[in-house]
Amino acid sequence: MSQGNHHLSFRILADSVSAGLVGAVRSLSLAALVFGGLGISEARAFGPILIGAGILGLVIAFMSGLVGTAQSNAAAVVAVAAGLVAGSATGSTDEQFALVMATLAVASLGTGLVLYLAGAFKLGRLIRFLPYPVVGGFLAATGWLLLTGGWRLARASDVGWITIAALLFGVAIAFAAQVDSRWLQPAVVGLALFAFFGVLVGAGISIDDAGARGWLIGPFAADPVNVSDLFVWLSADLTQLGPAVPTLLTVPAVAVLSLLLNASAIEIAERVDLPFDFELKAAGVGNVVGGLVGSLPGWQSLTLQRLVKSSRTNKVGAVIVGLVSLSALAAGPRVIGYLPVFVVAGVVAGLGLDLLYEWVVASRENVTATDYSIVLIVVVVTAGFGFVWGVMVGVLAAIGLFIVQYSKIDVVQAALSGDSYRSNVDRPLTDTDRLAETGNAIAIFRIHGFVFFGTANRLVGELRDRIAPEVVRYLVVDGSRVTGFDGSALHTFERFLEVAADEGVTTVLTGFGPLGAKVAAAEAAETVYRFDALDEGLEWAEDQILSNEDSLFSPVETQLVELAGPWVDDVRNLMDRVEFGSGETIIAEGSVGHPLFVIEYGRVRVVLASSGTRIRTMRPGAIIGEMAYYTRQPANASVIAETEVVAYALSATKLDNLLATNPRLAAEIHRRMARALSRRVTETNTALRKAMD
């Protein structure tokens, strides 16, 4: 047991030290990226950046258990900002150094604040809703900045072979990042260092001579890190950061995107569920504390996490990585200066190549041509006009992509006709027949979602086409599932109502709530009616259609003729005339043995007693209670009089006895009742099919 634990402890130590060294080399490479070409000694920045990276890593390690370090995505943008500041700064070299360090500090502090607030407001799942091509465009553009930054570092040495070696080493680093191996990336760095110094020994070239030839990032003085450099940014004139502000504002956005992408990848790689909001807060605190000493922005590292595999319950490995970054300072600037230029430049270029490969090459198979073109556009704009312009194009692309994609969604959920889709009003068969013949004068549209200018024109086009044949007299538009209208869409819809009114079409708006009042305020308000529910509006439109149709019979006479045919007088003699007051229960839910009723006068509603939900409304001529009679089951709903009601009641006993006294009449009643029931089922099925099309 002890031997196994010892082996496990050694594995953790070996993995963590290796990851820490890789992280330190990356931090130094990113420092060189920021300060290279500025004419300011990067050696002074190594101390604050390594200390900041160590502090950042320790804070994230203690809070979340994951490995955190300075990140290339942020460094690439900060390098652009630092170049803008240094290019416009006036004063001594010390003052310019303080300004560049202030750029780093402001970037880290601002990033830390945004990350923490994003976690506090529980935006950790935000990445799920961001357009894939825009995220890819941001990160691919960052990769381009890193690649060109590594190229500049290599070219600054004025040694031809260093540029070639840096590019080859960068390709090796990018390849190692794509291979699922914990040790390949550290091995590539170690092998490059071993080969370089092996060649020096074999060729008899001393370290000092190599430095003099420009092969090393040094030589640097042997002086220890100056503690005052940790807070030198506090002495800077922050007003001179103005040219870099637009660029610095993009750093937190890159940080949030990259952190959440890394966290998602860690979840998949290690098969764990990470609390994204807490990871955001941990990185936020780490950046604020690290930013106080002028560190580069950073967060949880996917690459180093794969090496260490630490966790919330086993933080030792992540803590060791942070300590290694701090301990790298013990070697002093002189030893750090022994790093070959091609290694430092190659690490930066390799990180950029990795991002470019992932988002420009590998992603091609997973996105549409339109999405892929957006990724390329962001990269090209960044390359030609700078990162801020690239970000602006990315944001505009996100907006445009949303408009285009959302405009493809048909806000018309269902387009129906009144001859097949009816209100929940039980009507006499003659009325049902008349609606079947003339119901196409009612057009029904159920719309849903958010209606904006991109979808409003399409909606209005469909409505225009529907009323064009001059058959439609009532247009019922249900908006119970609409989440809102924007101003232009509302105006477009109001204009359509005026056109509909000119065509003699009455518009019925249902379920729109307060929004319906705004629409009805249009000039065509005289031809616009509003109801709370689709069923109510549809019932009103049906009533208007039927009110224009003449009938020679009263509804109850019509229903009795339909029910009994030539035996109508015999059936009427079997029925009792009954009256109910408004609000009185005619049939109680759960009751058994109640009569069949044919309504002569008044209006009733069928409701579920448990919820009060209205199922149907019944008017003169409607039959009530036939389902319970045939199933011999308790009534599954209550029937309540909405007004004073007069009805004819046929008891179940009399109808049963009719089989013995007048079997032909009984058979005719049952046959006609079955036909009416099957007709109702057919109508319901037809309406359902049309609603689902």
Mean pLDDT of 45-61: 90
Highest mean pLDDT among 151-160, 207-216, 465-474, 524-533: 207-216
SS (H, E, C) 28-81: HHHHHHHHCCCCCCCHHHHHHHHHHHHHHHHHHHHHHCCCEEECHHHHHHHHHH
Residue 548: the pLDDT is 64
SS (H, E, C) 449-514: EEECHHHHHHHHHHHHHHHCCCCCCEEEEEEEEEEEECHHHHHHHHHHHHHHHHCCCEEEEECCCH
Residues 196-234 have pLDDT tens digits of 999 999 888 988 888 888 888 776 665 556 777 888 899
DSSP 8-state class, residue 329: G
Secondary structure of residue 526 in the 3-state scheme: helix
What residue ranges define each of the domains in the chain, with the CATH number in brackets? 11-403 (no CATH), 412-547 (3.30.750.24), 555-692 (2.60.120.10)
Residues 73-125 have pLDDT tens digits of 899 999 999 999 988 877 788 888 999 999 999 999 999 999 999 999 988 87
* Element containing residue 686 per DSSP (H, E): helix 663-692
Strand partners, 617: 425, 605
Residues 472-505 have pLDDT tens digits of 889 999 988 888 888 777 888 877 888 888 888 8
Q: Is residue 33 a contact partner of residue 76, using CB atoms and an 8 Å limit?
A: yes
Average pLDDT over all residues of the chain: 81
Residue 332: the pLDDT is 62
> Cα–Cα distance between 604 and 619 in angstroms, integer?
7
Residue 553: the pLDDT is 43
Mean pLDDT of 333-339: 73
**pLDDT level of residue 596 (50, 70, 90 thresholds):** confident
Q: Which strands form 506-510's sheet, in the order they lie side by side?
A: 412-417, 442-451, 474-485, 506-510, 528-531
Q: Is residue 346 a contact partner of residue 169, using CB atoms and an 8 Å limit?
A: yes
Of 437 and 551, the one with more pLDDT: 437
> Cα–Cα distance between 505 and 522 in angstroms, integer?
15
Residue 572: how many CB atoms within 10 A of its CB? 16
What whole-number percentage of the chain has pLDDT above 90? 16
> Cα–Cα distance between 370 and 367 in angstroms, integer?
8
Residues 283-326 have pLDDT tens digits of 999 999 999 998 899 999 877 887 776 666 678 888 888 888 88
Global pTM reads 0.62
CA–CA distances in Å: residue 536 to residues 426, 473, 532: 13, 17, 7
Six-digit token string for 608: 């579920």
